[in-house]
Amino acid sequence: MGYSTISIPLDPGVRRHRLAELKRLAGEHGLDLATRVDLAPEDRTSLLSALRRLRRKFELVGVLCTNKQVARVAARDRRVDLLLFQLDPRRRYFDASEAELASGSNCALEIDLMPIFRLPPRDRIRLLARLRDEVALARRHGIPLVICSGADEPVLMRKPRELAYLATVLGLGLEEALDSLSKIPLSLLERNRAKLEPGFIAPGIRVVRPGRDPLGQG
């Protein structure tokens, strides 16, 4: 369908050898698989606990913000890559305060497209209006947008450019929509893969080769 890199949410308890096997299988079909987990914590404590356990196991971490407390904590935690919200406009907590927090943590707002078009017409109209407001808010605060298919069965899959055209109903230009499907998620993935490499210390700092102190002190 034109994809080179894909990612699907995996069970948090999946074994590391299974992750490696899935990557190998994807590679046999010419695809780069990004390992991902989507968390749905009930409160701040369960979110922080899950992040401690899972951040170094998966390349991408999304958080479904089911209440305002979780949304606020997820938005300001640099271990979170993707902020996810429910389809019900009344339970979407991406407001000005949320955007302010997210703007300083390098996380992105993710929008799944295909579930929107499965809603009854009245619910779809309400949600699209809300999403257009969220897109405008994210733009004002410099928050990256990630567009996904959100497909849960093969018939709902769409080619990248088809998804980009659908995303224009949210107020995105076509080039912006294409970036939200490609450049932006790839930059998140590359950043996290660098962090997971052996020797990573901090952005721009990593151990290349252990050795003796040149001053002879170690």
**pLDDT value of position 212:** 58
Q: What is the pLDDT of residues 24-39, one digit of tens each?
A: 999 999 999 999 999 9
**What does the mean pLDDT of the chain come to?**
90
Domain ranges of the chain: 38-197
Which CATH fold would you assign to the domain 38-197?
A: TIM Barrel (3.20.20)
**pLDDT value of position 204:** 57
What value does the mean pLDDT take over residues 133-142?
Answer: 96
- Interacting residues of 20 by C-beta distance below 8 A, sequence separation 6+: none
Q: Given the structure tokens 């369960």, which residue do they identify?
A: 46
Sort residue 2 into left (φ over 0), alpha (ψ -120 to 50) or beta. left
Least confident of 2-11, 63-72, 97-106, 192-201: 192-201
State the Cα–Cα distance between residues 207 and 199, nearest whole angstrom: 5
Q: Given the structure tokens 């078009």, which residue do they identify?
A: 117
What value does the mean pLDDT take over residues 44-48?
Answer: 97
Please answer whether residues 59 and 192 qualify as being in contact, where contact means their C-beta atoms are separated by less than 8 angstroms: yes
**pLDDT value of position 106:** 85
pLDDT > 90 in the chain, percent:
80
Asked if the model's pLDDT at residue 213 lies above 90, the reply is: no
Q: Band of the pLDDT at 206, cuts 50, 70, 90?
A: low
Q: Find the largest Cα–Cα distance for the chain.
A: 73
Gyration radius of the chain's alpha carbons: 19
Please answer whether residues 4 and 29 qualify as being in contact, where contact means their C-beta atoms are separated by less than 8 angstroms: no
The pTM is what? Answer: 0.87
Count CB neighbours of 98 within 10 A. Answer: 26
